[in-house]
Structure 1
Amino acid sequence: MPRTFKATLVLIGVLIMVALLAIISIAQSYQANKKIIEVNRALGDLNRSTEQILSQLESGVAVAGNAGGTAGASNDRYAAAINDPNNLLSPATDQLIAPNAVPGGTLKRLISSDPKGFNWLTENSADVSELQTYVHNGFARQDFNNPDNFVSDLAYMVTVNEDNTEYTVKLREGVYWHVPKVDFSDPRYEWLREPRELTAEDATFYYEMAMSPQVEAGSIKSYVEDIEKVETLDRYTFKVTWKRPVYHSRTTTLLAYPLPRWLFSRDRDGQEIAQESIPVEFNTHWSVDYPIGTGPYLFDSFKPSSQVVLTRNRDYWGAKPPIERIEFHIIKDPEQGFARLLSGQLDFLPKIAEPRYRSEIMNGGPKSPFKTGELEYEVIDAFAYYYIGWNSDKPMFADRKVRLAMTHAFNRQSIIDNVINGLGELQTGPFYYDHPANDPSIEPIPFDLDRAAALLDEAGWVDTDGDGIRQKTINGENVDFRFTLTSYNRPTVRSWVSIFREDLRKIGIEMRGDFVEWPLMQRRMDDKQFDAFTGGWGLTWFNDPFQIWHSSQADIPKGSNRVGFRNAEADEIIETLRVTFDTEERMTLLRRFHQIVHEEQPYSFFYAPKESVAWNPRVKNVVFQKIRPQTYSLPWYIDESAE
C-alpha cells in the first residue's frame, strides 16, 4: 500500500466510524433479530466499499485529492511514457477489473490433471501456463481486445532502434516478488522472510537461463537463439541486443518475464551456488516447489490429485482482482466435474463433456439446469487445434503416402458431428482455421477407405499371408502394420479412437489405443517414446512455425517437433519468415508453408475446438478473451447474494 495516501486513509477511517455510529443508532430502534440482520448487512456493504477504495488507492488511482509524493511522481512518469510515440507499448483498451466488482469470495475451478511441475521456464503445459498468468507478470502483455497491440505490465517503456535489433526496457519501480510459501519454522528459510524488489537483474536472468544449453527449455530455445547479448543498464533498465533483425524479436522480448536471480542462485540455506552450476541446478531447483511471481495471486498450496490453491496478493502493485481465493480442483472425470458444478462444489467448468452437452443443452428439457437457471453456459472458440502426430522417425510412418492414407482413413467430420456434437471446425493445417495465415483454398482430405488402401499398396504395405494385416519388408524383416496410438485418457478420446481403430481394421491395419494420464503423456512426448499420439496445440496470435516445424527442432531435448518433420523447403520458408516484416509477404510464405504441411501430413489434423463452458450464476462478469488464457478469471467476481 503506498504510504503517501495516509491522509486519504484517515479520511476513510473517519467515514467508517461515522457510518458505524449511524448503523448502530438505526439498529437500536429495531427488534433484536432485525438489528442483527441490518447491522451485518450494512457492515458487509461497508467492508466491500472500503476494500474497493483501498484497491484503487493501492493501484495508484486517486480517489479523492492528490496522491502526491513518490508514488504520484512514478505514476506521472508512467502516464507520460505510455503516450510517448517512441514507446512500443500502447494504452490498454481492455478493462481487466470491473469498476462495480464485489470483492471477496472463493472461485472453484477445474483442471483435468496434475501439473507436472511449476518451473515457469521448463514446463510448458497449458495448465501450468495458465497458473502462471495469475501468479506472475510479463514485461508486457497483449491487449485482450486487440491482440496486435502490446500494453504495459512490468515494463512501462520499451524502445527499439531503427533496425529492430536493440530493445531497451524500463521496469516499474517498487514491484516486489512474492515471499515463497515455505515452512518458516525451519531456520534454513529465515533468509526468505523479507520481500525482494524486482530489478533488471531478474530480467536478464530469464534470458541467461533460456539461452543456456544446460537448461531444459526446448520449447523456447529457438526463439532466443538470435539474441547476441542482454545487459543490465541500471537497477530498473535492461537492453536486449539481437544478432540480426528477426520478426519474432518483438514478441520474444516483450512477452518474456523475469525470474528471481536472488532465489535461483542460492540453495535452501541461502548459500550462493557456484555460477557455473546455476543452469544445471535451475532445472530441478528446490524453489520450484514454492513458485513465486509478481502477480495478482500468491501460490498457496498444491495437493496432488486434489487441488492447486491461489490467494489474492494484498500487496499487488497493480489493480487488485476482486476474487479473494481461486481453487483449481484436479478432476479427471468430466462427469464428476459436472456433478460437482451442479451441486455447488465447483463454480466454473472449462468444458462440458460431449455426452452431457448433448443431453442437457442440445436435448435438454425444461428441467435441465441450463433451462431452470441453476447453471449458465456459453460456447466459445478455443484458440487451439487437435491432431494425431505420426512419428516419422519410425519406418512405419516415414513414407508420406502412409501418413496420407492414415488421414484418408480418419473419419474426422463424422466424428466432429456425432461424437463432439459439432463443437469443432475441421482443421487442414498448422494455423487456426480463422486466422489470416490459414489458406482457405486448401480442401480437407476426405474420408476415403478405398483411397487409403490404394496408397498403402503403393507404399508397399500389402497382406501377403492372408491374415487380414498388411506387411512390409523393412531392413530385411517382415513387419506387420501394427502400432500403438498413445492417447489422453478421456471418455470422448476413447470414443473416437475406437471409431478410428475399426476403420483401420477394414484396410488391414491393427491399432492399439494406450490411454494414459497427462504427466505420463507429457513424458512420452518429450522423450519421443511413441508410434503415434493424440495431441493438441494452444495457439498464439503471432505465427512463428520454427518451434514446432523446423527440422533443427526434431532432435533437441523436450523439443516441440516431436514427430520428426524434416522438409528443406519448409525450413527455408521458416527461416525467411524470421527476417520478413512485410505483412503481405509473410502471408504468402505462411500459406505456402500450410500447403507443404498439408501435402506431407506429419499430422492428421483434426479440429479446432469450440468449448462449451459452464458456471454457477453467483459468478458475475464472466467474460472470455480472444487469446489464451481465454477463461482468464481476473475480471470475474463472486456475488454471494446470488447463491
Structure 2
Amino acid sequence: MIKMKFFLLAPLAILTLFSSSCERKEQSSMHKRSSNEVSIRLEAEPDRLNPLLSTISYARQVFDPLHVYLMSYDPTTLVLVPQLLKETPKIELIKSGVFEGGTKYSFEIREEAVWDDGKPVTAADYEATLKLVFNPFLPTLGYRTFLENIQSFDIDKMNPKKFTIILNDTYFAGLEALTNVVPVLPKHIFDADKSLDTVSLLKLISDPSPENQLKNYPFIKDFADYYLGEFFSRNPEGVNGAGPYKLASWQSGQEILLEKKQSWWGDKLATDNSAFQAFPDKLLFKIIPDPVSALAALKNEEIDVMQNIAPEDFLALKLDSTTKAHFSFYTPSSLSSYYISLNTRLPILSDKKVRRAFAHAIDVDELIENVFIGFGTRCATPLHPSSAEYNTDLKPITFSIEKAKKLLAEAGWSDTDKDGILDKKLGDKKTALRVKYLANASKESSMTLAQLIKSNARKAGIDVVIDAKDANTLLDKLRSREFEMISAGRSITPQWSPSQNWRTDADNRSGFGNEKTDEWIDAMEREPNQSKRWKISKKLQAEIYDEQPEIMLFCPQERLVIHKRFEAVSTAAWPGFHPVAFKLVKD
C-alpha cells in the first residue's frame, strides 16, 4: 500500500512517469543472504512511529506498513483504490436542507478488517482518530487543514462499519482528504477508558481554540500529553495498527525491525487487490546517515535497498561488475522537488527583490549537471513540470550575478564601507547583507550546493554563512521556522492541495501569503470544475513565483538500487520503491 504525503501535484493521467532503467536481472546463487527479509537503508532515524505526530519523512517509510488507510494509492498506477473500505465511497451533492451546497460521502469498512486482538475495525475508530487530529493540544495542524470542512459524521445505528461524512462544500480533493490523509487508528488502545466518547468531533472542528476546548473538556490537554508520550510513538503495543506488519524492535541509532503478522486479515484479499500485498517476512530498516558507510553496507550485501544515492556513486556502482551481479538499478522520475526556503518574516529577507536576487545568484543548471550528473529537471513552481496544472508561462530563474546586483541596488543595498558585502539601514541599525544558510552536513550534494551558493552570492555582495547540521536538526529548524535560509525537499502528490504549505494559518514555513492568497487557496480547493480550478492554481503559482519565498531548484530523478534477491518495481511515488510488495526470488 502507498500513503501519499499529502502536499502537491495534479492529474493522475500524468503520473505514469516511471522511466525505469532497470538492468536485466542475472540469475545468481552467490548472494550472501537468502532470507525473506528486506534490509533498507534509512538516511536518518525517525523521531517517532506515530503517523499523526511524526514530522520526519523517513519515519513514514517505517510506520506505513504498520497501518491501513480507508483508501490507498496503487504503487504501479498511482490510482486511489479501496483498502479498508469495501468500495469507493458513494459521493452525492446536497441540493437542499441544512447542508445544501455540501457533499455527502457514504462509507463501509470491510467486514474482514480487524485489529491484532480480533476486535473489528469500525467507524468509531475513524471518528476517534479524527478527534486526535482536531485535539488543539496535539501538533496536528498540518492534517486539520485538509479535514476542517467536515460538517457531519454519522455512524449507522444498525452497522458500526457504515458511516457518512458531509463536507460543507465541494472540496475538489475531498475523497483523498477523507480517505488517505491519516490511517485509521485503534480507539480501544489509545482511548481505553472511552473518555473521547464525551467529546464532540464537530465541536472540535468548529472551534479550534485551545482555551475554549479546555473549558468544554477539562481533560483534553491531559489526554494530549498522554498521547504524546513514548508509548504511542515507540512501544509496539502503542504504535501497531491494522496493517500487515508489527514493530518487533527499535535499537536507537542502529535499526528498526518490523515483522509480518501471522494470519493477517488482509492476506486473503491480496490476490485481487494490490493494496493488501505484503510478501516479506521482515522489513529491517538500518539507520545509516553516512553515505560512505551506506555504500559499503550495500556492496557487502548487508542492505537490499538504497535510494537517493549520490549521482556519481550511482554511476560508479552501475559500472562495477560485482555490484551489477547482485543489484538492479532504477531511475524513476521522482514526484518530489528540491528548493531553498527563505524566511520572509525576517527584515533582511522581507523584500522580494532581495529574494529574487538570491535566486539569480544560484546556478541551478551547474548544480544539476555537475553535482547531480544530469539527474534532474528544472522547475519554477511547487508543481512537477509534467503536470497539466503547471504554469508553463513561468520560466526557471536564470543565473545572473548582474541581475542580482541590479535588484539589490533597487532594494537599497550598497557597499558603504567597501568591504565587499552590501549593507543597508534596517530600522535604526546598519545591517550587512549576511544570511545564515542551513545545509545537511551528511549529504555531499547539500554541502556542494551550499558552497556554490556562497561563492556566487559573494560576487553579488551577499555574505552567505554556511551552518551545517544533521538531517533531523534541519527538519526541526524548518518546522519551528528557526532559519534564515535552508535547503529542503518536498514530496509531490497526485493533486496539488496548497492549503497545508501555503495558507498563512497553516504549516507555512516561509511566511508567504496574505488574505488575498488565502482566498485563492480556499476558492481553488472548493472549485469542482477542473479548468476553473487550474486557472486559480496558475494565478497562485504566479504569485509564489513573483514573491520567491522559496527558490525552486529542480525535480530530481531517483537513483535507486534493489537487490536481485527480490522481484521489485520502482514507482514515481517517494521514496521510489514499495518494499511490502517485494517478492523473494526462488532458485
- Deviation readout 1:520-567 (Å, 9 max, x if unpaired): 2222112111111111111110111111111222xxxxx2x1010014
Match of 2:406 in 1: 454
Is 1:229 the counterpart of 2:152? The answer is yes
Partners in 2 of 1:119 and 1:177 — Cα distance?
17
Partners in 2 of 1:548 and 1:542 — Cα distance?
14
Partners in 2 of 1:129 and 1:430 — Cα distance?
21
Q: 1:382 aligns with which of 334, 359, 364?
A: 334
Q: 1:115 aligns with which of 38, 41, 46?
A: 46
Shift of 1:317: 1.4
Matches within 5 A, 1:438-453: 438-453=390-405
Match of 2:494 in 1: 541
Partners in 2 of 1:434 and 1:244 — Cα distance?
29
Q: 1:603 aligns with which of 530, 550, 556?
A: 550
Is 1:480 the counterpart of 2:428? The answer is no
Q: Secondary structure at the match of 1:359?
A: helix
Match of 1:635 in 2: 581
Partners in 1 of 2:535 and 2:541 — Cα distance?
10
Q: 8 Å contact 1:301–1:310 — kept in the other structure?
A: yes
Q: 8 Å contact 1:409–1:452 — kept in the other structure?
A: yes
Match of 1:583 in 2: 530
AA paired with 2:314? Y
Q: 8 Å contact 2:56–2:472 — kept in the other structure?
A: no
Shift of 1:117: 1.0
Q: 8 Å contact 1:207–1:230 — kept in the other structure?
A: no
Structure with the larger RCO, 1 or 2 (CA within 8 Å, 6+ apart)? 2
Match of 1:281 in 2: 226
Partners in 2 of 1:369 and 1:513 — Cα distance?
38
Match of 2:274 in 1: none
Q: 1:552 aligns with which of 495, 505, 529?
A: 505
Match of 1:105 in 2: 36
Q: 8 Å contact 1:429–1:438 — kept in the other structure?
A: yes
Match of 1:243 in 2: 168
- Deviation readout 1:179-211 (Å, 9 max, x if unpaired): xxxxxxxxxxxxxxx453322211101111112
Q: 8 Å contact 2:571–2:578 — kept in the other structure?
A: yes
Partners in 2 of 1:449 and 1:353 — Cα distance?
28
Matches within 5 A, 1:176-187: 176-178=114-116
Is 1:324 the counterpart of 2:281? The answer is yes
Partners in 2 of 1:143 and 1:619 — Cα distance?
19
Match of 1:315 in 2: 263
AA paired with 2:247? F
Q: Secondary structure at the match of 1:611?
A: coil
Is 1:141 the counterpart of 2:58? The answer is no
AA paired with 1:548? N
- Deviation readout 1:543-601 (Å, 9 max, x if unpaired): 11111111222xxxxx2x10100144432221111210111112222122221111111
Partners in 2 of 1:296 and 1:480 — Cα distance?
56
Match of 1:295 in 2: 243
Shift of 1:132: 2.8
Is 1:338 the counterpart of 2:304? The answer is no
Shift of 1:459: 0.8
Match of 1:510 in 2: 463
Partners in 2 of 1:285 and 1:581 — Cα distance?
42
TM-score by length of 2: 0.82
Match of 1:16 in 2: none
Q: 8 Å contact 1:104–1:323 — kept in the other structure?
A: no
Q: Secondary structure at the match of 2:581?
A: coil
TM-score by length of 1: 0.75
Match of 2:512 in 1: 565
Shift of 1:516: 1.4
Match of 2:188 in 1: 262
Shift of 1:433: 1.5
AA paired with 1:403? R
Partners in 2 of 1:155 and 1:214 — Cα distance?
30
Q: 8 Å contact 2:421–2:432 — kept in the other structure?
A: yes
Q: Secondary structure at the match of 2:526?
A: coil
Which structure has the larger Rg? 1
Match of 2:273 in 1: none
- Deviation readout 1:55-112 (Å, 9 max, x if unpaired): xxxxxxxxxxxxxxxxxxxxxxxxxxxxxxxxxxxxxx9xxxxxxxxx9611111110
Matches within 5 A, 1:167-246: 167-178=105-116, 194-233=117-156, 234-246=159-171
Q: 8 Å contact 2:558–2:576 — kept in the other structure?
A: no
Partners in 1 of 2:232 and 2:520 — Cα distance?
41
Shift of 1:174: 3.8
Matches within 5 A, 1:120-131: 120-131=51-62
- Deviation readout 1:22-77 (Å, 9 max, x if unpaired): xxxxxxxxxxxxxxxxxxxxxxxxxxxxxxxxxxxxxxxxxxxxxxxxxxxxxxxx
Q: 8 Å contact 1:482–1:509 — kept in the other structure?
A: yes
AA paired with 1:110? R
Q: 8 Å contact 1:541–1:627 — kept in the other structure?
A: no
AA paired with 1:455? L
Match of 1:406 in 2: 358
Shift of 1:501: 0.6
CA RMSD, Structure 1 to Structure 2 (Å): 2.2
Q: Secondary structure at the match of 2:396?
A: coil
Identify unmatched segments of 5+ residues in structure 1.
Answer: 1-92, 94-102, 179-193, 554-558
Return closer, same or farther for 1:167/1:285 CA change in 2, 3 Å cut-off. farther
Shift of 1:274: 8.1
Shift of 1:358: 4.2
- Bigger mean CA deviation after superposition, 311-320 or 485-494: 311-320
Partners in 1 of 2:134 and 2:550 — Cα distance?
29
AA paired with 2:179? L
- Deviation readout 1:209-268 (Å, 9 max, x if unpaired): 11222221121121122112323324212222222332222211121421222121249x
AA paired with 2:285? F
- Deviation readout 1:432-481 (Å, 9 max, x if unpaired): 12111112232111000011011111111111001111111111001111
Shift of 1:316: 1.4
Match of 2:9 in 1: none
Q: Secondary structure at the match of 2:86?
A: strand
Shift of 1:344: 1.1
AA paired with 1:402? V
Match of 1:86 in 2: none
Q: 8 Å contact 1:386–1:535 — kept in the other structure?
A: yes
Is 1:161 the counterpart of 2:109? The answer is no
Partners in 2 of 1:613 and 1:628 — Cα distance?
11
Q: 1:492 aligns with which of 429, 433, 445?
A: 445
Is 1:391 the counterpart of 2:343? The answer is yes
Return closer, same or farther for 1:211/1:230 CA change in 2, 3 Å cut-off. farther
Identity of aligned residues (%): 21
- Bigger mean CA deviation after superposition, 495-504 or 168-177: 168-177
Q: 8 Å contact 1:301–1:309 — kept in the other structure?
A: yes
Q: 8 Å contact 1:177–1:292 — kept in the other structure?
A: no
Match of 2:81 in 1: 151
Q: Secondary structure at the match of 2:436?
A: strand
Shift of 1:275: 5.4
Q: 8 Å contact 1:427–1:607 — kept in the other structure?
A: yes
Q: 8 Å contact 2:332–2:572 — kept in the other structure?
A: no
Partners in 1 of 2:121 and 2:66 — Cα distance?
14
Shift of 1:322: 2.2
AA paired with 1:617? K
Q: 8 Å contact 1:203–1:238 — kept in the other structure?
A: no
Q: Secondary structure at the match of 1:573?
A: helix
- Deviation readout 1:295-350 (Å, 9 max, x if unpaired): 11111121121111111112211235221111111111112211111111111111
Q: Secondary structure at the match of 1:346?
A: coil
Return closer, same or farther for 1:278/1:624 CA change in 2, 3 Å cut-off. same
Q: 8 Å contact 1:354–1:492 — kept in the other structure?
A: no
Return closer, same or farther for 1:151/1:407 CA change in 2, 3 Å cut-off. same
